[in-house]
Structure 1
Amino acid sequence: MSARVSVESDSLAVQPSYGLYPYQRQVLDDLLEILRPGSRDVVPNSRRVIAHMPTGAGKTRVACHAASSLLNRANAEGKVVVWLASTEELCEQAADDLSRAWQHLGNRPIKIHRYWGSSSLDLYKLEAGFLVAGLPKLWEVSGRDVGLMQGIADVTAGVIFDEAHQAIARTYRYLAEQLLSYQPPLIGLTATPGRSAEIGSPDYELAEMFGHNKVTIDSKGHGNPVKYLIRNDYLADPEFLPVKVSTHVQVSQPKEGFDYTSINLRSLGDINIWQQAIIDTTISALGDHKRVLVFCPSVSSARRCAEAVTNRGMRSEIVLGETPHDQRMASIGRFRSDCSSPIVLFNYGVLTAGFDAPRTRCVIIARPTTSLVLYSQMVGRAMRGRRSGGNRTCRVYTVIDTDLPGFKSVAEAFINWEDLWKQE
């Protein structure tokens, strides 16, 4: 899409094709100030920073502006900015957005290198541009070639780490630190700059990795950024509705710092009353909303729910970790479409990140979790606001124990880890 121009007398009004909202420009300015070459270069980890923005607030767009700025610098000739992500969905989203961004922000022709899934890209022959790399694939190949990461580090002008709360995982941190051998800038992106509701050693480790530097949205006197974004229609205002189910079946509570296992979740999904609660809630939601996204507790649960809803004459799609890529994209495409018929998309273990469907106005969370990160991500799928093509309000049904700590308010969840970070 080209820039729009309107003529008013002797003045021309020009709208940017890859512009930013005022709060996004503020975050970008704060990021670039921290990453600016200068006195910070002599302090370890000083040119590392996390961009802390709620799901739906445009982290990817802000990061694409920042990545383009890093690559536009004179000392970045012949180099790459590396974008790290853990899933194919996140990689696809990043590569697509970087392509759109560079068309409007770039100062020279470059290459966008895609390295995830079945890619056979030769990482020793990278031309200047962006390298979007899937962390699992990068870890696999680095184990076979000990010199590879150093070779990439030699030409790295900056690193973007998507879903940065994952960065302290042993394998992921190793890859990131290898790329940062010559101390290029590091930007982490996350809606949740911590690992759990109760602050522990992993949260301190994450803050240390990013030099305790975090930038976020100026809340303009609204208490915190989420409230500011909701009141200004950048995010939808969520209504939380509990769906109480008495299963009379004991599901083992996870140990502190751990989440429910797949075995726990599968056992829950096999309980008929829990399954029926998901189906009944979905059918009710489809009467009020055109697009409903359901997070199921297991693969078999997602399949049975989809079958039951389809048998009632309603349109349903299903996406699982094992779903082939083309089939997954087709299902997501139908869900995102402008079709006027109500559609429900059931999923398990997918679509918590890297999934954007602005028409989604209702989410059903039918899997228990102790992870504030995961819960916030699932809620965020429905929180795209009107200014970004979404909705004024959204609805979140939660088929879990609603007394889990920190899970009642996305606004409260957003500021859960503030004490760990310096405010810039």
Structure 2
Amino acid sequence: MSSTFANSKYAIVGAGLIGRLLAVALAKRGAQVTLFEKGGPEALDSAARVAAAMLAPLAESAITEDNVVRMGIHSLPRWQQIINELAKPVFFQQDGTLILWHRQDASDAERFVTHLERNSRNNRLLVAPQKLDSHALQNIEPSVAERFSQGLFLPNEGQLDNRQLLEALLVELTLMKVDCRWHQAIEPEKLRQDHKEYDWVLDCRGLGAKANWQSLKDARDLRGVRGEVIRLHAPEVKLRRPTRLIHPRYPIYIAPKEDDVYVVGATEIESEDMSPMSVRSAMELLSAVYTVHSGFAEARILEMATQCRPTLKDNLPEITINKKSDSPHLMMINGLYRHGYMISPAIMDCALEILSTGNSNTALELGLSIHSGAAPKETQGKDAKVVSCV
């Protein structure tokens, strides 16, 4: 694949998770890459910075489509490969997911367990969930065994440290001599018009590309879904793996990172409000996390953060291609929703295949939507040539 990309020129707009992954991957394959980002290298305004970065296809199968689950399964071993190739270490673990519930929520838990068991039977790549009694729970996660007498264990699921990863990818961009244009906002269509030297322009801006997606001929609207997380420093808590609490109002997740840091979240609000976290959300998250482990009572709040995840109307990711004979081709990648870290290696692999060969067998196998979409309305005309890529 390297020879395919050697001496090719790519412009990537947006230096969030998928933008950085593709910039590094293309540069390592011999391509010349220019990365444009309206913000700075710290990714302070990126949805990728405000995330728990859990890699949990079976757990997520309860609320998402089968193709997203397949992308998550594909991505788990790829994350290990990607991280192993980085110069700067990134925290990564694959010790499974723990599901807990209080006695009064047993009926909700039973429905959840039945759902996951059915999904694992229908997908042979998923490892069946394991029911835990008090003894098994004591062995797997002793720090919560006093408060819970049963649970569910999902083997092989994992997580990584999202902020360490963004920093490590930044180091890699420097090592690979990627031309990074920080604090430079630019429209992909303007790049196509003014810079004919590029072979491809890749739009990886997430919610920043909203106007462009709304201008597509078939109006595949892009929206933001607000998420809120709290980062805690809790030395008295020793959770070994991501833990989810089944609850009728706020089913929280707790993702343990290095140095006794925990990322706690649950909220998913149909809103593009970027304002600080509400008192209600903070109280619900903190109250729920305390019911999991009393040690959180003495935790220190490091950060309360909010961000909006880029989401298409079907809550599924998509790649849209527009090819023109007289300007760089355009690839638009978006709609990763709440599954950005879980599926981004799969999205990256599909994009690289398209850039290399014009189609992607991986996308067909995983069920990733690839559209040979028309250009945004303001750029359509007799010169616009839409080429099918699958």
Q: TM-score, normalised by structure 2?
A: 0.26
User: Quick check: which one's strand share is greater?
Assistant: 2
Which protein has greater RCO, CA pairs closer than 8 Å, 6+ apart?
2
Q: TM-score, normalised by structure 1?
A: 0.25
